[in-house]
Structure 1
């Protein structure tokens, strides 16, 4: 498996990282497992922001995974694809960290850098 594909795998599980933080900061108890969306729907502060980071991670996954798959199929240079994918993962980790720490301007900046990585991958595929 290539680095880019490992990045897709990691991106697939990244939302689970943020939901762990969301549930922790929301004071998750075993009884809350009956209605976990209710707990997170009423969350505030860090728990709410972690839940939002989870949702945003799910939203970012589809275009990234599609870009990597398409780029691999059409034969984009593997090094370019691996670097762009690794940078995407790095920006997504920073995005979640900045979400939790309420640094909205930095969060927006790294979101933009992450989506730029995805667009770069699509652009590389379109050139072939």
Structure 2
């Protein structure tokens, strides 16, 4: 049994969205990094809100599919900022690498086969 139930995973996801919006300006990241982080926050928010778990607003994406989408987003967290000019400095590189680490950690700690209502 892994520590992140679907409900706990939802809490982590919504908190991560908020941090992806708040952290870049607080850290003094470049405008491109801020925009890219906001883009990811918005996309994560949509996926989270549409996931079939206790914190989903419209439960249409099966919880295991949410996990696959989340895992697939990890490489995009480095590729897209690089393409959009968001990895210009050391702080930006560390920030997006930290997001990748956060996604992979949350993924590995989540019980993806759990009843989605837990």
Same fold (TM over 0.5): no
Structure 1 or 2: larger helix share? 1
If the length of structure 1 is used for normalisation, what is the TM-score? 0.40
User: Which of the two has higher C-alpha Rg?
Assistant: 1
If the length of structure 2 is used for normalisation, what is the TM-score? 0.43
